[in-house]
Each structure stands twice: as C-alpha cells, then as structure tokens.
Amino acid sequence: MNRRALSHVLLLGLVGGVLIAILRYSEYQFLVIQHSFEIYAAIVAILFAAFGIWLGIKLTKPREKIILREVLVPTETPATPFTLNQPQLDALGITPRELEILSLIAQGLSNREIAARLFVSENTVKTHCSRAFDKLGARRRTQAVQLGKQLGILP
C-alpha cells in the first residue's frame, strides 16, 4: 500500500471516529434532557440510601461496655417470724396446694418452673392459679402476691 492510500484510510477512520463520538454525545444529551427527572431522582435515592446505611452503622455500633457490679442491699429482717393467718385462709377457702402454688409464684417462678418442681402439668398449675386468683379477687400474678401478703397468707 502506498503512502497516499494509507493517509486516506487514516483520515477516513479519524473522521468516522469523530462522527461516531458526536453521535454518541448527542444521544447522551438527548437522554439527559429527556429523562432528567428520573436521573435526579435516582441520584437523590442513592444519596438517601448511603446516608441511611451510614446512620444505621453509626447507631448500631456498640458503644462503651457497660460494667455491672453487684451491690449488696441490706434487707429488713422481721422482728417476729412469719405466722400464717389461718382464719383468713379458711375464710377464703384456699386449699393447701393453691397456697403452695401462690408461695412459688411469690418466689418468682413461672408456671413451667412450678410444674417441674411439683411434678404436675402446666395446665394443672394454671388451674390452681386461676382458682386462687378468683378466691383472692386478683387478676394478675403480682396482684395475687400483693393481696396474699396483705392478708397474711404469704410471707
């Protein structure tokens, strides 16, 4: 190939490349003008997503370690030992098993723990609880324990 033909091929390739670049640029301009709202919405969405991720990492990052220490709190020892108020117990009609379950509730045990300790089913514990609550006029465990202590049937 002679030198002149080579220069024509290079010039033709350069002009073709410039024309393709101009067409791509005009296509890009058309795309930006035609879909500008979608592009701006996508940019805003990306910014908010990045901010949300940053904020989530910042808020869930563990801060300082919390150090717990055990503090002994003196409790008042009653001058006289607990005596069961038997007349009140008889007036309410609470059975010995119901009283036993109430005392275990007062110790903070759950129905499952009470059932395991007494070798009965959870349903049996629930039945005794509801009967004792009805006799005391209580609606919750804490209320039953409080009433039992006020009436002198729980220590």
Please tell me the predicted confidence (pLDDT) of residue 22. Answer: 76
CATH number for the region 86-151 comes to: 1.10.10.10
Q: pLDDT tens, 118-155?
A: 999 999 999 999 999 999 888 888 889 888 888 888 88
Task: Name 101's Cβ contacts closer than 8 Å, sequence gap at least 6.
Answer: 114, 118, 125, 128, 129, 132
For the entire predicted model, the pTM comes to 0.50
Distances (CA, A) of 42 to 30, 71, 112, 121: 18, 56, 55, 60
Please tell me the predicted confidence (pLDDT) of residue 31. Answer: 66
| Distant-in-sequence contacts of 110-118, Cβ < 8 A, 24+ apart | none
Q: Under a CB-based contact definition with an 8 Å cutoff, are residues 131 and 98 in contact?
A: yes
- Residue ranges per structural domain of the chain: 3-60, 86-151
Please tell me the predicted confidence (pLDDT) of residue 70. Answer: 76
